[in-house]
Amino acid sequence: MAPETVIPSTATEVQSTPHAIPTEFKHPLDPLTPDEIAAVTFTVRSHVASKTEIKAIKFITCSLLPAPKKAVLAYLGISLTPGGKPEAPIPIVRKAEVDFLDIVNGHSYNVLLALGDGKWSIQAFERLSEGVQPQISVEELVACEKVVKNDPRVQQLAKEVGVLPEQIFCDGWAIGYDDRFPHTRRVQQAFVFARYSEHENLYAHPLDFIPVIDSNTDKVIHIDFPYHYKPSDEKGALTAQSAKFPELSEDSFAVANRPRIPPPKKSFDFLPDLMEKNEGGYKPRDDIKPLHIVQPEGVSFKMNGHELEWQNWKMHISFTHREGIALSTVTYNDNGEIRPILYRLSLAEMVVPYGAPEYPHPRKFAFDSGEYGMGTMANELSLGCDCVGQIHYLPGSYVAHDGSAVIVKNVICIHEEDSGVLWKHTDYRPGGRGQTVRRRRLVVSMVCTLANYEYIWNYQFYQDGTIELEARLTGILQVYVAQDGEKSKYGTLVAPNVNAQYHQHLFSVRVDPMIDGLNNTVIESDVLPIPEAETGSAENFAGNGFLTQETVLKKEAGRPYDWEKERRWRIVNPARQHYSSGKDVGYVVAMKGGITPMFARKDGWALKRAAFCNYPIWVCRDVEDEQGSRMWPAGKFVPQTRDSPADAIDSWVKGEQNIENEDILVYLTIGTTHIPRPEDWPVMPVEHLSITLKPQSFFTMNPSMDVPGTRDPRSVAAFSQDSSNNESQSNCHCD
Cite the active site residues: 368, 453
DSSP 194-247: E--STT--GGGSB-S-EEEEETTTTEEEEEE----B-TT-TT--BSSS-SSPPP
Distance CA 304, CA 302 (A): 7
Burial of 686 (0-12, 13-18, 19+ CB in 10 A): exposed
Q: Which helix (H) or strand (E) holds 426?
A: strand 405-426
Q: Taking Cα atoms as reference points, which of 112, 110, 111, 108 lies closest to residue 132?
A: 108
3-state DSSP of 553-598: CCECEEECCCCCCCCEEEEEEEEEECCCCCCEEEEEEECCCCCCCC
What's the CA gap between 599 and 503, in Å, rounded?
Answer: 9
The DSSP result for 374-401, as a single string, is TTTTBPPP-BTTTB-SS-EEEEEEEE-T
Q: How many CB atoms lie within 10 A of CB 416?
A: 20
Q: How many other C-beta atoms can be found within 10 angstroms of the C-beta atom of residue 113?
A: 26
What sign for the dihedral angle of Cα 42, 48, 51, 56? Answer: negative
361 Cβ neighbours under 8 A, 6+ residues apart:
226, 354, 480, 501
Query: Distance between CA 381 and CA 197 in Å, rounded?
Result: 26
DSSP characters for 495-529? ETTEEEE-EEEEEEEEEEE-TTSSEEEEEEEEEEE
Q: Are 351 and 634 a contacting pair, CB within 8 Å?
A: yes
Cα separation, 322 vs 394, whole angstroms: 17
